[in-house]
């Protein structure tokens, strides 16, 4: 025990990512490359200038830049390259399983076809499985600032790709767009066999988490930070062992927390909530999985045992088969014992 540093420990432990927007992995270098080949303009003259714009006071300020960045994605190959770059990046970080979001409406609203988007992403995920050994699930997220009709249309377009899409989710501007707005779309999605998840309680109140549970029948809550405002809700999340996919560096960059030293992860763990660590939009928030684990470990003085528990939580919260979960958890426990 205690033979390797926390950095090395985090690097080597097999990890899972459960909250990742593929459009949020768009690194400036790749953005400029793809913009050039598609003859699309970027509002910034250089990678450095673009990176300087990555300073946000809230979720909306980030979303404005995030949607602008996605504008240069046109061809199936662009979506492939975006996803392939992400998979290679996390492969270096020893991520072995990913469950990632894509936002079809960000693209279909610009007249890029649903097929172009999903075919590029899916082909990269298949290649990642074959060549990098990363297993995957794909989650189609509805943009909650758009209306119910747009979400229904998007669901319709997803039906031919049921085999490729495990779940539907809900993201974008949370305040003023409660889960209840999409109750009927989510009911239809469940009827069609999709699992459901939703961003709730990132900027929005704990009531939105209740709605996600009661109305959208989610199997995970994305973020969920605000659950701590409501003891009854915490009790419910614990009883259900409902996973929260928490994103520390995202929380810091979007001012959901003012300092990582005040991040609620330890309190959530203490209360027995099934909390997990994720990167959300790593190209914009300054870190992928390892950086998220490392920064909270430093700020909150997490032990190797606590880090191991967070990783095990992620495997438990994933949609891997029970057999694969058991195998992976045993592997993680053996790693902890050895290191």
- Contact pattern from residue 223 through residue 262 relative to Zn ion, giving x for each residue in contact according to CB under 5 A and a dash for the rest: ----------------------------------------
Out of 23, 99, 202, 211, the active site residue is 202
Sheet order of strands, 195-200 included: 15-17, 95-102, 135-143, 167-171, 195-200, 220-223, 244-246, 275-277
For residues 71 and 44, the answer to whether their CB atoms sit within 8 Å is: no
Q: What phi and psi, each to the nearest 5 degrees, are found at residue 232?
A: -65, -40
Interface pick for ligand HPA out of 17, 76, 211, 280 (rule CB under 6 A):
280
Nearer to ligand HPA, 81 or 281 (CB): 281
Binding mask 18-57 for ligand HPA (x = CB under 6 A): ---x--x---------------------------------
Q: Is 202 a catalytic residue?
A: yes
Among 280, 293, 325, 328, binds Zn ion (CB under 5 A): 280
- Tell me, letter by letter, the H, E, C secondary structure of 192-237: CCCEEEEEECCCCCHHHHHHHHHCCCCCEEEECHHHHHCHHHHHHH
- Residue 202: CB minimum distance to Zn ion, A: 7
Q: Minimal distance in Å, beta carbon 221 to ligand HPA?
A: 12
Q: How near is the Cβ of 322 to Zn ion at its closest, in Å?
A: 27
Closest CA to 103 of 148, 159, 169: 169
Q: How far is the CB of 290 from ligand HPA (least distance, A)?
A: 19
Using DSSP, state whether 45 is helix, strand or coil.
coil
127-166 residues in contact with ligand HPA (CB under 6 A) are none
Q: How far is the CB of 141 from ligand HPA (least distance, A)?
A: 7
Nearer to Zn ion, 10 or 256 (CB): 256
What's the rounded Cα separation, in Å, for the pair 200 and 128?
A: 30
* Total number of residues shown for the chain: 339
Distances in Å between the Cα of 78 and the Cα atoms of 31, 62, 100, 162 are 10, 22, 17, 22
Site residues (CB under 5 A) for Zn ion?
A: 280
Q: Which residues are catalytic?
A: 202
Site residues (CB under 6 A) for ligand HPA?
A: 21, 24, 59, 66, 171-172, 199, 202, 250, 280-281
């Amino acid at each position: 025990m205690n033979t390797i540093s926390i950095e090395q420990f985090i690097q080597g432990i097999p990890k899972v990512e459960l909250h990742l927007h593929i459009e949020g992995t768009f690194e400036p270098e790749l953005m400029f490359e793809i913009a050039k080949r598609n003859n699309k303009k970027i509002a910034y003259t250089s990678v450095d200038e673009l990176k300087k714009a990555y300073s946000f006071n809230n979720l909306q300020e980030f979303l404005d830049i995030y949607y602008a960045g996605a504008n240069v994605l046109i061809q199936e190959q662009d979506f492939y390259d975006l996803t392939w770059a992400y998979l290679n990046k996390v492969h270096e970080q020893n991520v072995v399983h990913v469950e990632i979001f894509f936002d079809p409406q960000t693209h279909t609203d610009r007249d890029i076809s649903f097929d172009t988007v999903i075919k590029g992403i899916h082909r990269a995920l298949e290649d990642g499985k074959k060549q990098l050994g990363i297993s995957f699930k794909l989650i189609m997220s509805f943009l909650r600032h758009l209306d119910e009709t747009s979400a229904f249309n998007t669901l319709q377009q997803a039906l031919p790709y049921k085999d490729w899409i495990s779940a539907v989710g809900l993201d974008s501007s949370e305040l003023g767009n409660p889960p209840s707005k999409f109750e009927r779309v989510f009911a239809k999605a469940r009827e069609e066999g999709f699992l459901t998840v939703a961003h709730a309680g990132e900027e929005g109140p704990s009531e939105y988490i209740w709605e996600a549970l009661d109305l959208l029948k989610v199997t995970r809550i994305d973020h969920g930070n605000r659950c701590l405002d409501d003891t009854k809700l915490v009790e419910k999340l614990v009883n259900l062992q409902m996973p929260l996919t928490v994103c520390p560096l995202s929380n810091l960059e979007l001012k959901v927390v003012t300092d990582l030293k005040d991040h609620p992860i330890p309190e959530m763990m203490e209360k027995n909530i099934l909390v997990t660590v994720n990167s959300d939009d790593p190209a914009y928030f300054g870190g992928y999985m390892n950086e998220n684990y490392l920064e909270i470990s430093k700020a909150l003085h997490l032990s190797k045992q606590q880090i191991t528990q967070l990783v095990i939580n992620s495997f438990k919260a994933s949609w891997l088969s029970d057999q694969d979960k058991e195998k992976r958890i045993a592997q993680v426990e053996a790693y902890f014992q050895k290191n």
